[in-house]
Amino acid sequence: MNAISLRVQHAFPGFALDVDLQLPGRGVTVLFGHSGSGKTTLLRCVAGLERAADARIEVNGNCWQAADRFTPTWQREIGYVFQEASLFPHLDVCGNLAFGMKRAGATVHQDEIRVMAARFGIEHLLGRKPDGLSGGERQRVAIARALLTRPRLLLMDEPLSALDHARKQEILPYLERLHDELDIPVLYVTHQIEEAARLADHLVLLEAGRVVLSAPLTEALSRLDSPLARDHDAGVVVPTQVLGHDEAWHLTHLGFAGGEIQVSQRALHVGQAVRVRILARDISIALSGDNASSIQNRFACAVTGIAPAEDPAQCLVALDVKGVALLARITRLSAERLGLVVGKPVWAQVKAVALLD
Amino acid sequence: MLLPDSQDWAAIWLTLKLASIVTVLLLILGTPLAWWLARTHSRLRGAISALVALPLVLPPTVLGFYLLLLMGPNGPAGQLTQALGIGLLPFTFAGLVVASTFYSLPFVVQPIQNAIEAIGPRPLEVAATLRARPWDTFWSVVVPLARPGFLTAAVLGFAHTVGEFGVVLMIGGNIPGATRVISVQIYDHVEALEYAQAHWLAAGMVAFSFVVLFLLYTLNPDARRKPA
């Protein structure tokens, strides 16, 4: 179901934005790219903060811009979270939260504000002025403020980039919860692959104002022709579920479509959904599965593709484990010696798994 | 020692009335002008800024001279007011209001413009994404955030109008109860060698101006930047 349709053409001084996208009407779409790729400009066009010369913007049946129409920002049912929290300094937290809610036509119920504040852990700050809040608290207020307008689309422009590492880790869990609970689509701009890996369902890669790739996250990260595959930190994201814990060996078992992954024991509930990231450089390939090895995470799979890597000594190997795509980066010499060809059954040995939680 | 007489009180009352009307007019006219100057990318911006700032550098007599010509019986403004049945503005209270408005314009426009520029575009964008119409944004975001600028503008506009002399003399003359403001009254006292009465008014002006500026700079730390 493609419910967000963006066609935007505009020449700005120094670069041109030329984008034609069909995006899912649910879940988190990450607009990914370097600074200057046009991702923030595209987001601002969707919000109506920037008026592209030629654009057609449709979100879940609402046309916000076309040749003969331009809906001003204040009439678009969006929530927008800016890079800096941009709270109104003359209002306290409660006043900030109520600002958009009032104007969105909702009657202001203190209860609703309190519930939303509790959801973001800011209920003890309601009477405080923004000056006295930490960066992380401010950004949580900003997100709650945007959601209280009951938007049909949430736009987030690098909401974590102005925060230090600790503050980011403080906010990410809230964003992941949003991802699970929200039933409206989210467009999320970032240049951090880790944020994309944790939050995205769909990924759009922008370069110099053009779309290089638009695909579901797992596909975007595992495709050999994706520019992301050639990155030093290339790797796939695999959705898993916690199966159980092995108390004796302090391990946690995660299940995915292709089998089971063991990781060091973590405080996770059985049944909890967890995304793991497996880097291409952390996968080695063997021809048999029973050779003695210290590596426990081994999967029988088939080679689905081979492509040159950035380093001329290396190549990228695409693998398929019962429908789950993995990406391995090995030396070309190894590939040659193992006789890797498309369709060959091999074993993937996973040396390291990063839990995204 | 002679106390202020009824003519002195008339001059004081007239001055306060003039300054109050001019201040209100300037806030109404100066705010959109300041908004436009703060936010426009138009090429006219430089020219309009210079025009607004002219009274800061011109001798009041120059401004008064040209206003006198413009509003006189042969000037375009004068012919317009006559055609509208208002009559001629020079040497009337209304004429003083018009002239003072021009004369004090930069003192009102510049603090408001600085305050709006200091707010920047972001809070306006935030307000728009929170469904606030532009007019709503102006009252609920711009005015509260630029309040120090508006306060400075009002105080400077008022005080500057109270303190003018040259323009009043050129355009208003010296008509008791109509155009004879405090500064002119002081001038008359001095000419007549009535130093005691001149002192009352002159010292009053010094005290008034000091108190106003003292309050402005104490209560409103953002006002330290002088206009121009």
B123–chain A nearest CA distance, Å: 7
Separation CA B151–CA B196 (nearest Å): 35
Q: Which residues contact B151 (CB under 8 A, 6 or more apart)?
A: B216, B220, B223
Q: Does A64 touch chain B (CB under 8 A)?
A: no
Summarize the confidence of residues B215-226 as an average pLDDT: 66
Percentage of residues in chain A with pLDDT exceeding 70? Answer: 99
Hey, are the CB atoms on A73 and B145 less than 8 Å from each other? Answer: no
Residue A210 DSSP one-character state: E
Is residue A318 predicted with pLDDT exceeding 70? yes
Q: Do A74 and B133 touch (CB under 8 A)?
A: yes
Residue pLDDT, tens place only, A197-229: 999 999 999 999 999 999 999 999 999 988 888
In the prediction, which pLDDT does B226 show? 42
Cα A144 off chain centre by? 19
DSSP secondary structure letter of residue B159: H
With beta carbons under 8 A apart, name residues in chain A contacting B150.
none
Token pair recorded at residue B110: 């510049």
Domain spans, chain A = 2-230, 235-239+275-356
CA–CA distance, A310 with A307 (Å, rounded to integer)? 10
Which residues contact residue A308 at a Cβ distance below 8 angstroms, ignoring those fewer than 6 apart?
A315, A316, A332
User: How far is residue B45's CA from residue A323's CA, in Å, rounded to a whole number?
Assistant: 63
Banded pLDDT at A1 (limits 50, 70, 90): very low
- Those of residues 76-135 in A touching chain B at CB distance below 8 A are 78-80, 82, 84, 86, 88-90, 99-100, 103-104
List the one residue out of A220, A83, A45, A102 whose CA is nearest residue A160: A83
- B-chain residue closest to A98, CA distance: B130
pTM: 0.86
Instruction: Determine the Cα–Cα distance for residues B168 and B161; give it in Å rounded to an integer.
Output: 10
Laid out side by side, the sheet with A314-321 consists of: A283-286, A345-350, A297-308, A314-321, A324-331
Beta strands A186-190 and A153-157 are: parallel
For an interface test with B, give the residue of A99, A101, A156, A187 to mutate (most B CBs within 10 A): A99
The answer to whether the beta carbons of residues B186 and B204 sit under 8 Å apart is no
A3 HSE (CA, 13 A, CB side): 17
Query: Residues A162-168: contacts with CB within 8 Å, 24+ apart?
Result: A162/A83, A162/A84, A162/A135, A163/A135, A163/A136, A163/A139, A164/A135, A167/A134, A167/A135, A167/A136, A167/A139
Mean residue pLDDT across chain B: 90
- Cβ contact, residue pair A99, B130, below 8 Å: yes
Q: Do B132 and A103 touch (CB under 8 A)?
A: yes
Report the alpha-carbon distance of residue A286 to residue A292 in Å, rounded. 11
| AA letter at A251 | L
pLDDT digit string (tens) for A258-309?
899 999 998 889 999 899 999 999 999 999 877 677 888 999 999 999 999 9
Long-range contacts of B116-122 (CB under 8 A, 24+ apart): B116/B34, B116/B35, B116/B38, B116/B39, B116/B142, B116/B146, B116/B149, B117/B38, B118/B146, B118/B149, B119/B145, B119/B146, B121/B39, B122/A82, B122/A84, B122/A86
Is A86's CB within 8 Å of B122's CB? yes
- E strands in chain B: none
What CATH number was assigned to the domain covering residues A235-239+275-356?
Answer: 2.40.50.100
What does the alpha-carbon distance between residue B182 and residue B70 come to, in Å, rounded to a whole number?
A: 26
- Write down the CATH superfamily of domain A2-230: P-loop containing nucleotide triphosphate hydrolases (3.40.50.300)
| CB-CB contact of A189 with A31 (8 Å) | yes
Task: Name the pLDDT band for A180 (thresholds 50, 70, 90).
Answer: confident
* Minimal Cβ distance to B130: which of A49, A84, A100: A100
| Cβ within 8 Å, pair A103-B131 | yes
A2-12 and A15-24 as β-strands: parallel, antiparallel, unpaired?
antiparallel
User: Alpha-carbon distance A127 to A123, whole Å?
Assistant: 9
**Measured between beta carbons, which residues in chain B are less than 8 angstroms from residue A141?**
none
3-state secondary structure of A238: strand
User: Is the CB of residue B115 less than 8 Å from the CB of residue B148?
Assistant: yes
Is B133 close to A49, i.e. CB distance below 8 A?
no
Question: What is the least distance, in Å, from the CA of A70 to any CA of chain B?
Answer: 14
What's the half-sphere exposure (Cβ side, CA atoms, 13 Å) at B165? 10
Residue A41's φ and ψ, nearest 5 degrees, are -60, -40
Confidence of residue A231 (pLDDT cuts 50, 70, 90): confident
Does the structure show a pLDDT above 70 at A154? yes
Q: Is the ipTM of this complex over 0.90?
A: no
Residues from chain A contacting residue B126 (CB–CB below 8 Å): 80, 82, 86, 88
User: Which site among B41, B119, B124, B130 would you substitute to test the A interface, given the most A Cβ atoms closer than 10 Å to its Cβ?
Assistant: B130
Nearest to A80 by CA among B122, B137, B64, B46: B122
Do A275 and A198 form a contact (C-beta atoms < 8 A)?
Answer: yes
Model pLDDT, residue A2:
56
B119, B125, B126, best to mutate vs chain A, most A CBs in 10 Å? B126
Residue of chain A with shortest Cα separation from B131: A74
**Could you tell me the domains of chain B?**
6-224 (1.10.3720.10)
**Nearest-CA distance A80 → chain B (Å):** 6
Nearest CA in chain A to B134: A74
Q: What does the pLDDT read at residue B5? A: 83
